[in-house]
Amino acid sequence: MRHRSVGDLMTPAAVTVRTHTTSEDIARLLDEYDITAVPVVDGDDRPLGVVSGTDLLRRQMYGGGSGGTAADLMTSPAVVAERDWNAVRAARTMERHGIRRLPVVDGAGRLIGVLSRSDLVHLFVRRDHAIQEEIIEDVVVRTLGLPPSALTVEVTEGRVTLSGSIGRRNLVPVLVRLCEDVDGVVDVVDRLEAGQDETAPRAPHTTTAG
């Protein structure tokens, strides 16, 4: 299965502002186009930062009222994605930087679109069941040779949670790594319980009479 690319998922960039755009004009654009943030670009359409509705609100609450320009308000430098990135890489970038929108650039660094978290959520929600099936059938059963009921695999928006008991401790990192390689997986949460490795000394078996 091929990862969907950012270029397939993004919304083409229709609204941008320059560093000298006033906060009043930015607020009007957000309202007019029903968007939550707008990229700030230079004269060559290269992203410099992003101004969000939250930035405007923060300015009003803590900056002595409205006023100011995009240069004063924007979060900078801009964290961007390239259009040939796959969706998983974009999702991990958003999570790492704590952002909900990524400007998308072409090979020359010019803005061509915007990718929002909602774009990715729709993709991953549709694929969660497929990811779960692939992990159970291909990783747990075929690769590791365990019964499908051996582990509990939960998938939410591409985030995999593994729980249950696995026989050998040295299988845990292998299982996690195999799950991370499954198409569409954003992150793997390990809640597995494991016994001793096969190479570990075994405790002597004792029997207690009842």
The β-bridge relationship of strands 159-166 and 187-194 is: parallel
Hey, where are the domains in the chain? 6-62+69-116, 121-194
**pLDDT at residue 44, as a whole number:** 95
> Could you report the per-residue pLDDT of 145-182, keeping only the tens digit for each?
889 998 999 998 788 999 998 878 888 998 998 998 88
CA atoms of 38 and 163, how far apart (whole Å): 41
Identify the band that residue 199 occupies on the pLDDT scale cut at 50, 70 and 90.
very low
Residue 184 contacts residue 156 (beta carbons within 8 Å): no
Equal fold, 6-62+69-116 vs 121-194: no
CATH (one of 3.30.1340, 3.40.190, 3.40.50, 3.40.720) for 121-194:
3.30.1340
Cβ(30)–Cβ(36) below 8 Å: yes
**Strand pairing report for 151-156 and 111-116:** unpaired
Model confidence pLDDT, tens digit, residues 9-24? 899 988 999 999 999 9
pLDDT tens digits along 117-155:
888 877 766 678 889 999 999 999 988 888 999 899 999
As a whole number of angstroms, the longest Cα–Cα distance in the chain is 85
Taking domain 6-62+69-116, whether its CATH number is 3.40.50.720 is answered by: no
Q: Region 37-51: what's the mean pLDDT?
A: 95
